[in-house]
Amino acid sequence: MNWFYETPDVIALPVFVVLFVAGSCGIVLLLRPFVRRQARKAAEWDRVLGYVVGTFGVFFGILLGLVAVSVYTDYSDTHAAALEESSQLSALYRNVASLPEPLSTELQHDLQGYARTVIDGDWPQQRRGELPTASTPDVDQLEKRISSFSPTDGREQAQLTQLLATFDSFVEARRARIDATTLQLPPLFWAVIWVGAIINAVFIACIDVANVRLHLVMAALLAVFIGLVMFVTADMDHPYAGSISVDPGDFVRLLQQWESRA
């Protein structure tokens, strides 16, 4: 599915909706002769069809709504994880500023290097759906430098304790950001959604409408809406890919703030 997320929305969205509408209208034209022959008892046909369409519409609408909410929740949680990691990184930067030299400057440079690696290394991997590994050596380097600090008095011991606590929080936030790379709906969910969309198109085709143009307009309008919902849901399904995705903006702004202070 990388092609889907790599294609600009100005191309992917119209193509997706047009194909979706074309498929729905094609089903209408295909089934219309059969429906016209079978729907001789219009009252009974409409009564049965109305009951089935109403029941199906409720369940299909609930399914689409729940899936959309679930995908948006994953997107929001992913953004929160990235924001939390950048916040913990900022707290680390402030904590190491009070350490003795040259350790303080070295750790600040390491933190700046980590932020650059996340932006230039981790995020491209995450966009491809790969678990990021580019920043792992930077984290190991930070841990080694922090471990090399030997307090000489009670004040420095308190600084080290606070620094270790912040580093642990940073590592936890980083793990949450990395774990979000694999967030996506199970394939079975998408199979059910597509089957539901096809069934919906079939039910619309089963409506006995004398005017074929009116029938096609009804099918097309409903297909446009369902297609838009499915497209947006699919675009947000991978939090780091697509146009509706979490970007490294929090880290970019943090790095710019550090560089402006320097």
Secondary structure tally for the chain: helices H, strands E:
10, 0
Residues 6+ apart with CB under 8 A from 146: 107, 160, 163, 164, 167
Q: How many domains does the chain have?
A: 1
Residue 112: closest CA among 138, 133, 149: 138
For 148-185, how does the pLDDT look when each residue is reduced to its tens digit (9 = 90+)? 888 888 888 888 889 899 999 999 999 999 999 988 88
State how far the Cα of 77 lies from the Cα of 24, in Å rounded to an integer: 35
Q: What is the pLDDT of residue 153?
A: 82
Residue 82: HSE in the Cβ half-sphere, 13 Å Cα cutoff: 25
Min mean pLDDT across 37-51, 181-195, 223-237 is at 37-51
Do residues 227 and 193 lie in contact, with contact meaning Cβ atoms separated by under 8 Å? no
Note the pLDDT of residue 48: 80
Burial class (CB within 10 angstroms; exposed 0-12, middle 13-18, buried 19+) of 104: middle
Q: Is residue 36 predicted with pLDDT exceeding 80?
A: no
The closest of 176, 185, 181 to 237, measured between CA atoms, is: 185
pTM: 0.83
Q: For residue 1, is pLDDT > 70?
A: no
Kindly indicate the confidence band of residue 249, based on its pLDDT and cuts at 50, 70 and 90.
very high
50-59, 134-143, 246-255, range with the lowest pLDDT: 50-59
Can you give the pLDDT at residue 147?
87
Range of the structural domain that residue 36 is part of: 2-261
Tell me the pLDDT band of 207, cut-offs 50, 70 and 90: confident
Cβ-count burial 209-232 (b if 16+ within 10 Å, e if not): beeeeebbebbbebbeebbebbbb
- What is the pLDDT averaged over residues 40-45? 68
pLDDT at 4: 77
**How many CB atoms within 10 Å of residue 140?**
10
pLDDT exceeds 90 at position 34:
no
pLDDT tens for residues 209-236?
888 899 999 999 999 999 999 999 998 8
d(CA 226, CA 17) in angstroms, rounded, equals 9
